Amino acid sequence: MPVPETSVPETPVPEIPGPLVGSDWLAERLGGVVVFDASVGAHRRAPVRIPGARPFDLDGALSDHTAAAPHTMPSPADFAEAMCGLGVHDTDAVVVYDGAGIYSSARAWWMLRAMGFDRVAVLDGGLPAWVAAGLGVEAEAAAYEGPRGSFTARPRPGLLVDAGVVAGALADPAAAVFDARSRERFAGTAPEPRPGLRGGHMPGALNLPFGELQGPDGLMRPAGELREAFGALAGERDRLFFSCGSGVTACVLALGATLAGYGRTAVYDGSWSEWGMPSELRPVVTGP
Catalogue the active-site residues.
244
Residue 254: left if φ>0, alpha if ψ -120 to 50, beta else—which one? alpha
In this structure, the chain runs to a length of 288
Please check whether residue 284 is in contact with residue 201, taking contact to mean a CB–CB distance below 8 angstroms. Answer: yes
Task: Choose among 77, 26, 79, 30: nearest CA to 57.
Answer: 79
**DSSP conformation class of 284:** -
242 class by beta-carbon count within 10 Å (0-12 exposed, 13-18 middle, 19+ buried): buried
Beta bridge partners of 177: 241
Q: Which residues contact 21 (CB under 8 A, 6 or more apart)?
A: 95, 121, 122, 123, 124
| Torsions phi, psi for 121 (to 5 deg) | -140, 160
What is the C-alpha to C-alpha distance for residues 54 and 14, in angstroms, rounded to an integer?
18
Task: Choose among 89, 78, 61, 75: nearest CA to 146.
Answer: 89
Q: Measuring CA to CA, how many Å separate 165 from each of 114, 122, 256?
A: 16, 27, 21
